[in-house]
Structure 1
């Protein structure tokens, strides 16, 4: 049955892959087509009319905006959902991402944007089926984004799919729900679900820490899990689960692929996963923002290829020059600007991408930073503005020397708060209390709180034994430049 469904899936996915492969030969043509389509839509919106956009307007007539610049228009659209404020397409939902002040950004999702996500998945899945491991069952655990406590339930990642693919995916997915009372309840339910599926072939998640934390939970609770599963666990896997250390390849003997972040801070954690699962194909994820799908990994490309026929991509060079996709330079780093079918136009996403090489006639793009002032160890997306306000609320910013929060990657990623010598003397003996207060305040950020609830991040630590050498280099008098510092790339 599964072999038949895999063949059916490959047949359904083939047209998307062919279309994308064709687009990679002519990215400039695809980008111009998308620009014309967007301008034609803008004409019928309040936002486009406020800019004086007509069918003959040049692309440069649309201003480059940040979320803060565009938020009044987004708020108008939320207030008047039936009007064409930013798009003339019906908005299906609003999705939440982090904001610069700790408040949530609300991103509109239209049928056009959901179609772009579905297209991305179709191309990625076909590439794996055609060029990847020899899948037999297709059984997949796709990481959900759970919520806890009194918050409304989160979305299942398959909610990004439309049409036949959404229906077909239900035959392959291991499901566990998306709302739980707390992190341990979620981990227990997930452990039972994963252990009941010896034919699991694919694990798709975001941060590798999600899986390393889950494996640690299974290890710590193995005897209770064995008892709870009873005869749903065969003898060989029961013995493997009871053995120290656990051989995870015996727990899931058909596992062939782990899809997860493996760049920047996730590089070390992806290496830990590879040690747990030697010989398993660990494929890095492309850049998939809440706002839009940006890049996907292609096996033959040997890198991350932009979705040239779904999203308009522009790039800001170090000198502020705006460069289009076809004029990028290998090795150079650019800030990303996107225009989407969801109603975002020339929107500064902030992520920094480097051109690693070219595939066909399209540049491959590697993520080198989450923006100038964003830290993202495991998906927590702490912004400097939010950290700055948190420190001010706790009266931890008084201009007296260096005080800043630093992300620390490793087996248990966490943040360290460094203080000036004068401040160290003032809190002597109270470091643990300060660390708890700071960690609690940072949990006002939805993504940071969820990372802590999932145990992907350890608690904040306060250090009073001096700064790392790199931290004291450069200028520190900048009022906005010291509260969040990200280690240089050669130290990550």
Structure 2
């Protein structure tokens, strides 16, 4: 806690030291040399190095993936590539990382429990039931592994050989976390958590969606889990040998009394408060409930029975950013304090509707500026960490130790306060993302392309799509995408169910690989639904929006609707509901040459 105080009291000085250290190490890399020409100076860095999106740095990362040396962007060896849940051209983005960055992440994790200890007593008197999972990996032509950031951490020696002190003992054995089969992993982790029920003091997962997926699994399989506990045996379909052996050590012997207690609770008509009922010593639920995960707060509150929802940290594949110094604050009031030693942070001002200030199309303007050698106007607008203003919104820009320089993360943050000299931020939204259920992030452009492709199936049958919008329906588990379509037909036609179901599948096939993986492999997203509405429904939606304050002159149909009231306007005019019959095609990605396939 003293270290946190020192870092935040000297936030400006620490930031300058971080940038100078990054420049000292990496000025001679190919990327920075092209802008700095060997000058290690903060002012020169800000004047000459451009603010960039992923598309500008992707060619350099691809070259490393294809076997060129790390010093293209980093003086330290790139040890692996981290796949982001954001996408580029329908594929996951890949970010460079180094061995030292894993040390930095471990340092970050080690700060979380000391903060919680300030607010919750007795966390050293039991275990944490954290449901943690690994995701698919791919290999690059250079031999580097590319995988999600959390998978990288769970498979590292930092996690597997962590000191088993009283604060980081989990109910899930490592071999159940590292099991590649998500269903086997889920079953075994829940089984271990139920067996160790009296010792559980905190329940959690990384994201709210993952914990709710576990509850849905428990709803579907509690009878089988109880049978495992009653007999002291693991189900035969658990075929991962290491996973099975690890669970049997925890299960150890039959326990009819525990099985009966769980059966009694799970067989009740309502599962309200089930987490608190099954794990009665639980002090809080540890999950990220900010950003797109906020849509799951009502369900978590239902299942949690009044347990606090705690979001402890804020990070991404690019780097880890900040921690929540007031973890028991309400989910709607969560703010993160950015730790100034993790990376060099800059901020691009955005207006209150979260559109970037400056050019109407800043990405096009930026590409033009880079191509002709002039400075992009974005460059002159960015401000340092200690210069942000209370109540203002900004897009986060990072310069990391691992080879990202003035990189736009895409997160929109609002300044809510300060801890010493370090600002605190509330996560507002992702730039350009309109739909998200789990780790998927679907942009308006991706949705348009998918819908356009699907509408080709309508033409032979005399239908025309006149308008559409969408929302993420998380009222049931798993959540799913809903599209409202208003159709115009030549003549009086009855809506053909098979045609509409084919349209649902066509949309899903055109969405990116992260979405398709969540649908087919992880089962964390349900079948896409198209709800056909009466003619005139979108006129009703416009009337509603105008009555709520939108300008008639500037109104355009929102491609994603957020408010329950707006959804109800269209819901009241639905004449048909159609779902995808099958999950879309997906297979683990491989990198071959310059292409991801």
TM-score range, shorter chain: 0.7 to 0.9
**Which aligned pairs between 1:351-430 and structure 2 lie closer than 5 A?**
351-395=411-455, 401-412=466-477, 413-422=479-488, 428-429=496-497, 430=499
Normalised to the residue count of structure 2, the TM-score between the two structures is 0.70
2:259 matched to which residue of 1?
238
Check conservation: 2:509, 2:516, Cα contact below 8 A.
no
> Is 1:92–2:79 an aligned residue pair?
yes
Equivalent of 1:172 in 164, 169, 172: 169
Q: Which moved more, 1:57-66 or 1:348-357?
A: 57-66
- Deviation, structure 1 residue 421: 2.9
> Is 1:298–2:300 an aligned residue pair?
no
Aligned to 2:313, the other structure's residue is in SS state coil
**Which aligned pairs between 1:245-324 and structure 2 lie closer than 5 A?**
245=268, 247-299=274-326, 303-318=335-350, 319-320=357-358, 321-324=381-384
Distance in 2 separating the partners of 1:476 and 1:86: 49
Q: Which moved more, 1:43-52 or 1:385-394?
A: 385-394
- Deviation, structure 1 residue 327: 1.8
2:65 matched to which residue of 1?
78
Distance in 1 separating the partners of 2:61 and 2:147: 23
Q: Which moved more, 1:136-145 or 1:379-388?
A: 136-145
Normalised to the residue count of structure 1, the TM-score between the two structures is 0.84
Q: Which moved more, 1:53-62 or 1:304-313?
A: 53-62
- Judged with a 3 Å threshold, the aligned counterparts in structure 2 of structure 1 residues 30 and 359 are, in CA distance, closer, same or farther, namely same
Work out which of the two has the higher radius of gyration on C-alpha atoms and give 1 or 2. Answer: 2
- Deviation, structure 1 residue 47: 0.8
Equivalent of 1:469 in 513, 520, 541: 541
**Which aligned pairs between 1:173-192 and structure 2 lie closer than 5 A?**
173=170, 174-175=172-173, 176-181=176-181, 184-192=183-191
- Judged with a 3 Å threshold, the aligned counterparts in structure 2 of structure 1 residues 343 and 62 are, in CA distance, closer, same or farther, namely same
Q: Which moved more, 1:132-141 or 1:358-367?
A: 132-141
Aligned to 1:389, the other structure's residue is in SS state helix
Q: Which moved more, 1:295-304 or 1:84-93?
A: 295-304
Check conservation: 1:353, 1:365, Cα contact below 8 A.
yes
Distance in 2 separating the partners of 1:235 and 1:207: 33
Aligned to 1:334, the other structure's residue is in SS state strand
Q: String of CA shifts for 1:426-478, please: whole Å, max 9, x gaps.
A: 95433333223323443x42255226644432221101123483797779999
> Is 1:45–2:29 an aligned residue pair?
yes
Distance in 2 separating the partners of 1:252 and 1:438: 41
1:126 matched to which residue of 2?
114
Number of residue pairs matched by the alignment: 472
Aligned to 2:467, the other structure's residue is in SS state coil
- Deviation, structure 1 residue 81: 4.9
Distance in 1 separating the partners of 2:420 and 2:565: 30
Q: Which moved more, 1:195-204 or 1:102-111?
A: 195-204
Q: Which moved more, 1:214-223 or 1:350-359?
A: 214-223
- Deviation, structure 1 residue 86: 0.3
Aligned to 2:13, the other structure's residue is in SS state helix
- Where does the alignment leave 5 or more consecutive residues of structure 2 unmatched? 140-145, 233-250, 330-334, 351-356, 359-380, 568-597
Check conservation: 2:29, 2:71, Cα contact below 8 A.
yes
- Judged with a 3 Å threshold, the aligned counterparts in structure 2 of structure 1 residues 383 and 180 are, in CA distance, closer, same or farther, namely same
Q: String of CA shifts for 1:197-221, please: whole Å, max 9, x gaps.
A: 2222233323323222322322332
2:332 matched to which residue of 1?
none
Aligned to 2:55, the other structure's residue is in SS state helix
Distance in 2 separating the partners of 1:402 and 1:84: 50
- Judged with a 3 Å threshold, the aligned counterparts in structure 2 of structure 1 residues 210 and 313 are, in CA distance, closer, same or farther, namely same
Check conservation: 1:100, 1:383, Cα contact below 8 A.
no
Check conservation: 1:378, 1:451, Cα contact below 8 A.
no
Aligned to 1:403, the other structure's residue is in SS state strand
Q: String of CA shifts for 1:239-267, please: whole Å, max 9, x gaps.
A: 33112336433422332232112224433
> Is 1:485–2:545 an aligned residue pair?
no
> Is 1:67–2:54 an aligned residue pair?
yes
- Judged with a 3 Å threshold, the aligned counterparts in structure 2 of structure 1 residues 400 and 214 are, in CA distance, closer, same or farther, namely closer
Q: String of CA shifts for 1:120-140, please: whole Å, max 9, x gaps.
A: 211112212343332134523
